[in-house]
Structure formats: C-alpha cells, structure tokens
Structure 1
Amino acid sequence: MNAVISECGRYRYRLEHTVAMNGPVYAFFGINPSTADAILNDITVRKWIGFSKRWGASRFIVGNAFAYRSIDVKALAMVDDPYGDKIGDHTTDIINDADILIPCWGNRSKVSSKLHGVFDVLLDALVSSGKPVMHFGLTNAGDPKHPLMLGYSTPLIPWESGAA
C-alpha cells in the first residue's frame, strides 16, 4: 500500500493498494480521507479491497473531493482549507492512472452546503476523462452511493450523463 500525505500530515491526496498481479485499475472517489495511510487500513479501505478482489482488479487508487483527513466530515467546514494545496494535481493523476472511475461519496448533504459544488466539479472531471465511470447506485438525493454498507454482490452501474 502506498499513500501520498502532506508533510504536516493533515491531508491525504492519494492512497493506492495492490490486490493482484494483473487486472484493471479502479479509482474510488469519496468525500474525504479518514485514518487510512500506507500502513493502516480503515473500514472503507477494507471494503474497497473486497470489491477490487472480486472484480479481478490488479490495484485500486483512492482520491477524494477533499484531502483533509478527518473521521468526521463536518470538520471540513471548520478548517480554512479542506482541499490541501496539491489535490488538483493528484486528482488528475489518479484519473489518468486508473482504468475505471467510481464516484462513491454518498450524500453530499453530509458536508456544509458551501462545499457542495466540489462534487459537481469532480464528477465533471471524471466524465470528461473519457474513461468508464461506474457507480454502486444513487442515493435518494442523486449522489453516488458509498460502498461501506453495500454487499459485495452490488453491481457497478455505468454513469449516465445528467444522473446527479
């Protein structure tokens, strides 16, 4: 496992995990990183490992709408910079390095409304890449579901323009 974390330790820009020797590379895009790093997996990373193995992936990469590390997404509204100064470059690299892109941030209502626009910008970047964009289904609010409470039999669905 590999992680790109800021020198101050407050931001994680990228997390990467190898699960097999061959297969496609999946990229998951959540809201913000929690405690996982190059050594420690959190419960969401363990779930991504399970999905990736079942899909025959070689590895997966994790990016987020916000790079600020916190177990509470409400903290994003409390910090001066929830993004970190290198999020754009790393998001672009993750998109370029993956074969299949999966937005999975769950309901955007979990974060302050002043931060909602970032999800549309990120989704536009994913769709504009020309790569397959898939999701686990949509929440009632139209956001891509987070995988944590989903069964491993949950199918990936192709993203349709205008779905959110």
Structure 2
Amino acid sequence: MSLFDQTGAVFSPCKKYRYLLWRDWDVTKLVLTFVMLNPSTADEVTNDPTVEHCQRRAVSGGFGRLQVVNIFALRSTDPQALYSSDDPAGPDNDATILEAVKACGVVICAWGTHGNLNGRGADVLKLLRGAGIQPHYLVLNKDGTPKHPLYVGYDVNPTPWEHP
C-alpha cells in the first residue's frame, strides 16, 4: 500500500508543460505548496529527487498534501532549456499557480537563481502577493532568490518572505 491516497499531475495536451503535481496522504491536514523553477521528470505517480525531497519535508512538517507548481512550466532536466524557449512559462501557468495556492497552509518559493530569467520570479511573487498569499522561503541565495529545496536541510523552517 502506498503512503499516498491520491497522486496526480496536470500537463498540457502536448506534455511539453507540467502545470501542477500533487501527492495526498491526509485530507484533514494543511497543504504545503512549493513554487519552484521548472518541472523535471516527476509525473502523476513517479517522483524525481526534488519532489521526493519536498514530499519528505511535507510529511515531516505535519502536512497532508504536497503540491508543486513552477514559475516556468516547461519540462526539462536542464534549466538552460528555459533560455532558448519562446514560452518557458506556459500559457496556463499563472492561472494554475493561483488556483493551487488558494487553499494552502504554506507556500514556499524555491526557484533559485534561474528565476531571474525574464523577471519571472519577481512576477510570480507579485502574483502571489496580489492574491493575498504570504510567500515563504527556506534560505535566500546571495542574489536574493529563494534557494532550491534540494540544497536546504530538513531542519530549516520556512520563513515569511516580506521583501522584495
């Protein structure tokens, strides 16, 4: 028997973009949403290392659901692919992000330095704040971007992101 009662993902019809991924295990508990850079190989049932790490953080933090959205919905194992894409964010991404964070307990931003591409990280931060969402981070990089969760220990708790 799986730890998860329900798993899933929302892809574009062409599978070029993954807009949302989730793992449910206890619907009576709060939802943890990570807003990261771009999706890699995780799908409806299979975790990649990043999703596995986020899942462990969510379970140990007492959450009952993990959601993952990304500032860029383009699926790629190499962030450099974002720079050569005409539309790395994807046409339905902002609407999906807003829908995903509506009923969240905590939203953790974790897109790293590549989030500066096209000012996308700042745009998503404005989108979240404009919707009344309090974003959090685990650690900030030297350039002020929120560090990717794979590079942050489990002992680090989310911090409310007041600025920029």
| TM-score (norm: length of structure 2) | 0.89
> Is the Cα–Cα contact under 8 Å of residues 11 and 68 in structure 1 kept in the other structure?
yes
Partner amino acid for 2:154?
Answer: Y
Per-residue CA distance 1:102-158 (angstroms, 9 max, x = gap): 1101123xx6x6x34111010112223323321102001111111102221111111
TM-score normalised according to structure 1 size: 0.89
- Identity across the alignment (%): 35
Q: What are the residue-to-residue correspondences of 1:37-48 with 2, within 5 Å?
A: 37-48=43-54
Is the contact made by 2:20 and 2:67 (CA closer than 8 Å) also made in structure 1? yes
Instruction: Letter of the 1:88 partner, please give it.
Output: D
Structure 2 stretches of 5 or more lacking a match?
1-6
1:18-65 deviation per Cα after TM superposition (whole angstroms, max 9, x unaligned): 133422111110111001010210000000111001111010111111
Unaligned runs of 5+ in 1: none
| Offset of residue 77 of structure 1 | 1.4
Match of 2:92 among 86, 94, 108: 86
The reply to whether residue 150 of structure 1 matches residue 152 of structure 2 is yes
Code of the residue aligned with 2:88 in structure 1: it is P
SS at match of 2:23: strand
Partner SS state of residue 142, structure 1: coil
Range with greater deviation from structure 2 (44-53 or 74-83): 74-83
Cα distance in 2 between the residues matched to 1:116 and 1:33: 18
1:18 partner letter: D
Amino acid across the alignment from 2:151: M
Amino acid in the other structure paired with 1:79 = S
- On the 8 A contact 1:19/1:52 being kept in 2, the answer is no
- Offset of residue 82 of structure 1: 1.0
Aligned to 1:76: 82
CA separation in 1, counterparts of 2:125 and 2:47? 25
CA distance in 1, matches of 2:103, 2:20: 11
Q: What SS does the corresponding residue of 2:124 show, helix, strand or coil?
A: helix
Equivalent residues of 1:20, 1:53 under 8 A apart: no
Instruction: For 1:21 and 1:80, locate their aligned partners in 2 and report how far apart those are by CA, in whole Å.
Output: 38
State whether residues 99 and 131 of structure 1, in contact with CA within 8 Å, keep that contact through their aligned partners in structure 2.
Answer: no
Q: Residue 9 of structure 2 aligns with which residue?
A: 3
1:76 to partner: Cα distance: 0.9
1:133 pairs with 126, 132, 135, which one?
135
